[in-house]
Chain A
């Protein structure tokens, strides 16, 4: 973008700030202003035109400091665009495209794209066929995701949502995708924690963070997910699958509400503006599985929304549930019980995930959910205090083994084949007489072997590859006879 004087001389129109209601500005002049046009101040602060009235032009300012009355403004005759390039990888930027990391400046001179575009039509989209592994066994088996799916992550605060998202990001980036993490109105400490996780796991160089902090104006928070989606589209067009996290859209909705109320728009339900659905829908519709010159490339989007006391029936929550391809519900009650991830498999939904699963995984997922439902019902029965029969005791014991298997405190990410192997052990009663500690230890050792021992990985692949049904898997795992004693680590 050129400077103020360039646009002033080229377009020959000037405006003056008349009234400031941060982040809204009312300006006089600028007779040729058009909606969504970028307007600059002398100091280079950017605003966009949101409304044109008879006596003033309404602007949404992205400046961190409020503008003064009388400040001169110039039109740019252009829409808001951000600079893009491969240098974005490994950087933390604000929604205006400026690097927030002084050690990583961004002299981007390549492509520029507008941040708010009409989503692609159906012709450019492809059916979701490829699985999107999160590394979380519970999700990958029972509520699987596909590449290009939009899956809402919903739950109360402090229920492990961010942890799950970061683990999923880790798994996907390790499998070759590009990670984009949008932190919308988050405190600095949260941003630092996310950055620390990415650096620690050595995936920061394959990720981009778009950050608006909690003390930034509402306009920047509003812009953040659109910028993140534009970056995701850039890397998709460059030939990569992209894993996009929008954390979180409840803050985005509140920011948009604040802007609309200050701009004197009529409030709707819960004082949100009438077009809040459109604000989110046009964003999420830009994700999906797309046809590409080199096959198919996907933007898998995980938007996050917070609930209060597990209330799924809130306005924004139900809006987002209707416009996504499923949701993962993080239950506070399960979190307190120690379940990790604290996902309720009965209230969670995946609308397109099952079509990407193999027949084996489909059968396993159904068996698991059906078994857990049965066990849950039996717990309700057992709470009456009646004496439990042998059958019920066996089910409870199996449930404990399955829960131990699904528990993710032991590892960050589990490969797909190893998930199936461990499932076979837990389901097929190989762990029948083991204590919880012994089961955890076995899982840890198998994870270690899988990560460090090539032979072990090959054997696991052979076992799983030959199984196309649940009984076949159980038989092959039984014959596998994995030794629990440690072996020397061989290079990967």
Chain B
């Protein structure tokens, strides 16, 4: 039960596919660390290879097992973590800009709150979108880009736009 809560807490911190990759790498380092004689060597390795927040999350969990010399418990935790990471659902967003960390946090927290805590983001950049986003989930595509919206408005109001342009040209010529 406690292990499940710990895993859930870690999953909440995984925002993107890059984070998932980093946590997977962290799990690999923890697995190696079971065989280290000196636990501080494991902490050093986590600190040097991973971002700080991931290092703190995983290092804290590792300490709980290593302090009690509970290698089996740590192995079980690593297996559960890997399983949880594998079962994460990925929502791909193609944006016209590179989002900042704050933007990623904002989108990620909204997605986890509204859709599910096991959702993570796969962010891509596509300048042709102009604005808005292209949303892909399990192979399904929803186009909500600015370019497509403008194209559909123009298509819908084609005759009105042509009429307005014709009128403007007439007025100008007069």
CB–CB B143/A31 < 8 A: no
CB–CB A29/B142 < 8 A: no
| Closest Cβ neighbor of B136 among chain A residues | A14
Give B83 Cβ to nearest chain A Cβ, in Å: 15
Judge whether B115 is part of the interface by a CB distance below 8 angstroms. no
Judge whether A15 is part of the interface by a CB distance below 8 angstroms. yes
CB–CB A9/B140 < 8 A: no
- Interface 1/0s, chain B 130-148, versus A by CB < 8 A? 0000001011111100000
Task: Identify which of residues 50-66 in chain B touch chain A, using a CB-to-CB cut-off of 8 Å.
Answer: none
- Centre residue among A8, A14, A15 by max chain B CB count within 10 A: A14
Task: Identify which of residues 119-174 in chain B touch chain A, using a CB-to-CB cut-off of 8 Å.
Answer: 136, 138-143
Judge whether A13 is part of the interface by a CB distance below 8 angstroms. yes
| Closest Cβ neighbor of A11 among chain B residues | B141
A198 to B136, CA, bound (A): 53
With a cutoff of 8 Å between Cβ atoms, the chain A residues found around residue B142 in the complex are 12
- Interface 1/0s, chain A 1-32, versus B by CB < 8 A? 00000001100111100000000000011111
Contact of B143 among A9, A28, A32 (CB under 8 A): A9
Task: Identify which of residues 85-143 in chain B touch chain A, using a CB-to-CB cut-off of 8 Å.
Answer: 136, 138-143
Interface footprint category on B: under 10
CB–CB B141/A28 < 8 A: no
With a cutoff of 8 Å between Cβ atoms, the chain B residues found around residue A8 in the complex are 141
A310 to B143, CA, bound (A): 62
Interface footprint category on A: 10 to 19
Give A305 Cβ to nearest chain B Cβ, in Å: 42
With a cutoff of 8 Å between Cβ atoms, the chain B residues found around residue A29 in the complex are 136, 138-139
CB–CB A15/B139 < 8 A: yes
- Centre residue among A8, A29, A32 by max chain B CB count within 10 A: A29
With a cutoff of 8 Å between Cβ atoms, the chain B residues found around residue A14 in the complex are 136, 139-141
Give B150 Cβ to nearest chain A Cβ, in Å: 15
CB–CB A13/B143 < 8 A: no
A13 to B138, CA, bound (A): 9
Give A247 Cβ to nearest chain B Cβ, in Å: 41
CB–CB A30/B139 < 8 A: yes
| Closest Cβ neighbor of A74 among chain B residues | B141
| Closest Cβ neighbor of B126 among chain A residues | A72
A29 to B135, CA, bound (A): 13
With a cutoff of 8 Å between Cβ atoms, the chain A residues found around residue B141 in the complex are 8, 12-14
With a cutoff of 8 Å between Cβ atoms, the chain A residues found around residue B143 in the complex are 9
Task: Identify which of residues 103-122 in chain A touch chain B, using a CB-to-CB cut-off of 8 Å.
Answer: none
- Interface 1/0s, chain A 292-330, versus B by CB < 8 A? 000000000000000000000000000000000000000
With a cutoff of 8 Å between Cβ atoms, the chain B residues found around residue A28 in the complex are 139
A145 to B141, CA, bound (A): 57
Give B143 Cβ to nearest chain A Cβ, in Å: 7
Give A71 Cβ to nearest chain B Cβ, in Å: 13
A29 to B91, CA, bound (A): 12
With a cutoff of 8 Å between Cβ atoms, the chain A residues found around residue B139 in the complex are 13-15, 28-32
A274 to B139, CA, bound (A): 32
A8 to B141, CA, bound (A): 8
Give A351 Cβ to nearest chain B Cβ, in Å: 51
A31 to B140, CA, bound (A): 7
Give A101 Cβ to nearest chain B Cβ, in Å: 36
A221 to B140, CA, bound (A): 33
Task: Identify which of residues 408-425 in chain A touch chain B, using a CB-to-CB cut-off of 8 Å.
Answer: none
- Centre residue among B139, B141, B143 by max chain A CB count within 10 A: B139
| Closest Cβ neighbor of A27 among chain B residues | B139
A29 to B140, CA, bound (A): 8
| Closest Cβ neighbor of B124 among chain A residues | A70
Give B106 Cβ to nearest chain A Cβ, in Å: 25
With a cutoff of 8 Å between Cβ atoms, the chain B residues found around residue A13 in the complex are 139-141
| Closest Cβ neighbor of A29 among chain B residues | B139
With a cutoff of 8 Å between Cβ atoms, the chain B residues found around residue A12 in the complex are 140-142
Give A396 Cβ to nearest chain B Cβ, in Å: 77
Give B141 Cβ to nearest chain A Cβ, in Å: 4
A13 to B140, CA, bound (A): 4
| Closest Cβ neighbor of A15 among chain B residues | B139
With a cutoff of 8 Å between Cβ atoms, the chain A residues found around residue B140 in the complex are 12-14, 31
With a cutoff of 8 Å between Cβ atoms, the chain B residues found around residue A31 in the complex are 138-140
A15 to B139, CA, bound (A): 6
With a cutoff of 8 Å between Cβ atoms, the chain A residues found around residue B138 in the complex are 29, 31
Give B85 Cβ to nearest chain A Cβ, in Å: 15
Give A47 Cβ to nearest chain B Cβ, in Å: 15
A32 to B140, CA, bound (A): 9
Give B43 Cβ to nearest chain A Cβ, in Å: 35
A15 to B136, CA, bound (A): 9
| Closest Cβ neighbor of B143 among chain A residues | A9
Give A307 Cβ to nearest chain B Cβ, in Å: 48
| Closest Cβ neighbor of B90 among chain A residues | A28
A28 to B92, CA, bound (A): 12
| Closest Cβ neighbor of A30 among chain B residues | B139
- Interface 1/0s, chain A 217-261, versus B by CB < 8 A? 000000000000000000000000000000000000000000000
Give B63 Cβ to nearest chain A Cβ, in Å: 35
With a cutoff of 8 Å between Cβ atoms, the chain B residues found around residue A15 in the complex are 139
Give A15 Cβ to nearest chain B Cβ, in Å: 6
Give B35 Cβ to nearest chain A Cβ, in Å: 32
A176 to B106, CA, bound (A): 75
Give A390 Cβ to nearest chain B Cβ, in Å: 87
A14 to B126, CA, bound (A): 15
User: Which residues of B line the A interface, CB within 8 A?
Assistant: 136, 138-143
The 10 closest A-B pairs by CB, nearest first: A29-B139, A31-B139, A14-B141, A13-B139, A30-B139, A12-B141, A14-B136, A31-B138, A13-B140, A15-B139
User: Which residues of A line the B interface, CB within 8 A?
Assistant: 8-9, 12-15, 28-32
- Interchain residue pairs with CB less than 8 A apart (15): A9-B143, A13-B139, A13-B140, A14-B136, A14-B139, A14-B140, A14-B141, A15-B139, A29-B136, A29-B138, A30-B139, A31-B138, A31-B139, A31-B140, A32-B139
4 extra interchain contacts, Cβ-Cβ under 8 A, other than A14-B139, A28-B139?
Answer: A13-B140, A14-B141, A29-B139, A31-B139
